[in-house]
Amino acid sequence: MTPLQLWLTILVMGLVTFLTRLSFILAWGRIEMPDWVRRALRYVPPAVLSAIILPELLRPGGEPINISWQNERLLAGIVAAIVAWRTRNALLTILVGLAVFWGLKLIV
């Protein structure tokens, strides 16, 4: 792939992404969604977030599944999940999760 082809590919994919998102923004309020669709869409963000985060917590670096006390990421993730559940504060959740992760990295 030549540099020109690479940049054209990036440009076209960026344009496709932009237009896809723009179509939903322009249609917002004009299209009435059934209640069952709205209820179902409430579960999309947690499902996507779980699909992104859980593999990295359970298989750090693509290794085999590691559910043990030596898995700092998993332990920090559990603590962060508890903080998120109890406080509903995103910044505090991130700070506590990082502090626990770095603390465990120093110990383990």
CA–CA separation, 87 vs 93, rounded Å?
8
Whether the Cβ atoms of residue 56 and residue 77 lie closer than 8 Å to each other: no
Q: What is the pLDDT of residues 53-105, one digit of tens each?
A: 999 999 988 888 989 888 999 999 999 999 999 999 999 999 999 999 999 99
| Residue 71 falls in which region: left (phi positive, over 0), alpha (psi -120 to 50) or beta | beta
Give the pLDDT confidence score for residue 33 in this predicted structure. Answer: 82
**Where along the chain do its domains lie?**
1-32, 35-107
Give the pLDDT confidence score for residue 76 in this predicted structure. Answer: 96
CA–CA separation, 22 vs 16, rounded Å?
10
Q: What is the pLDDT of residues 46-66, one digit of tens each?
A: 999 999 999 999 998 888 898
pTM comes to 0.66
CA–CA separation, 58 vs 43, rounded Å?
22
Q: How confident is the model at residue 23 (pLDDT cuts 50, 70, 90)?
A: confident
